[in-house]
């Protein structure tokens, strides 16, 4: 009887919580389909079936495929932030924050379908000249802004050379992640672990102030 009373005492989820859960399930389903089968696989019918809902729910929530992918871009950006915080990136600054962020991306690319699906969807939008390119550009701008913030932070504290162009360096770091991710999608036999170690070593050497 005690177990039954405990079950009945659990709070019921609100409508907003149920909606958030179904939205998350639909986005995860879209990410899985894109990572496994490519950009065109994320139809409302397949997304709804994978998530355990109807095709109509996906259409109702996102309106169009572009709307679905834009929501997915936001979700994947937030997922990347969650990974960073979970691994303690929020406790470091400057150079170490940049290295930690690059490390997290490269270590999780093979493991996280969500991260892979971002780059597959981006490649699909570029190949089809989709208007979604602007949504990806906005996402990349956020990442560049975060890297630029950490570079300026490192320059202020002395861990990063003050001679560097912070904005250009931030774009270079983002392009490194983009390039490595694209290379792996083209050739999954690419040894990401070797590239990860080399990338971190190269970034540390190039960003650190020269010894006088």
Question: Which tens digits make up the pLDDT trace of 118-170?
Answer: 888 888 888 777 888 888 888 889 889 989 999 999 999 999 999 999 999 99
Does position 99 have pLDDT exceeding 60, yes or no?
yes
- What is the predicted pLDDT for the residue at 89? 59
How far is the C-alpha of 71 from the C-alpha of 19, rounded, in Å? 14
Residue 201 and residue 178 in contact, taking contact as beta carbons nearer than 8 Å: no
Question: Is 116 inside a domain boundary?
Answer: yes
Residue 212 in any domain: the answer is no
Residue 193 within a domain: yes
Q: Is residue 5 part of a domain?
A: no
User: Which residues have C-beta within 8 Å of that of residue 152, sequence separation ≥ 6?
Assistant: 166
Q: Residue 140: which of 114, 120, 165, 119 has the closest Cα?
A: 119
Q: Give the model's confidence band at 4: pLDDT under 50 very low, under 70 low, under 90 confident, else very high.
A: very low
Q: How far apart are the first and last CA of the chain?
A: 75
Tell whether 190 is covered by a domain.
Answer: yes
- % of the chain surpassing 90 pLDDT: 28
Residue 149 placed within a domain: yes
Number of structural domains found in the chain: 1
Query: What residues make up the domain containing 141?
Result: 10-207
Q: What is the mean pLDDT of the chain?
A: 84
Q: Is residue 60 part of a domain?
A: yes
Of 36-40, 58-62, 77-81, 189-193, the poorest mean pLDDT is in: 77-81
Neighbours of 175 (CB within 10 A): 12
CB atoms within 10 A of CB 101: 24
Please report, for the domain that includes residue 159, its CATH number: 1.10.357.10
Quote the pLDDT of residue 157: 93
208 has a pLDDT exceeding 60: yes
Model confidence pLDDT, tens digit, residues 59-96: 888 888 889 888 988 887 777 777 666 665 567 789 99
Q: Is residue 204 predicted with pLDDT exceeding 60?
A: yes
Say how far apart CA 89 and CA 195 lie, in whole Å: 21
In a domain, 2, yes or no: no
């Amino acid at each position: 009887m005690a177990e039954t009373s405990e079950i009945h005492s659990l709070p019921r989820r609100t409508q907003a919580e149920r909606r958030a859960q179904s939205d998350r399930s639909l986005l995860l389903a879209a990410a899985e389909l894109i990572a496994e089968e490519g950009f065109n696989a994320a139809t409302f019918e397949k997304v709804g079936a994978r998530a355990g809902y109807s095709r109509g729910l996906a259409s109702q929530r996102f309106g169009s495929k572009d709307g679905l992918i834009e929501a997915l871009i936001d979700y994947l950006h937030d997922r990347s932030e969650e990974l960073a915080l979970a691994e303690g990136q929020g406790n470091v600054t400057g150079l170490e924050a940049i290295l930690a962020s690059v490390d997290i991306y490269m270590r999780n690319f093979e493991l996280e379908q969500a991260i892979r699906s971002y780059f597959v969807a981006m490649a699909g939008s570029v190949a089809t000249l989709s208007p979604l390119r602007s949504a990806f550009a906005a996402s990349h701008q956020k990442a560049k802004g975060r890297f630029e913030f950490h570079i300026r932070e490192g320059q202020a504290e002395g861990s990063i050379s003050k001679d560097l162009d912070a904005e250009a360096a931030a774009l270079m770091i983002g392009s490194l992640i983009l390039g490595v991710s694209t290379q792996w999608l083209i050739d999954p036999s690419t040894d990401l672990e070797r590239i990860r170690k080399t990338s971190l070593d190269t970034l540390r050497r190039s960003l650190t102030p020269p010894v006088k």
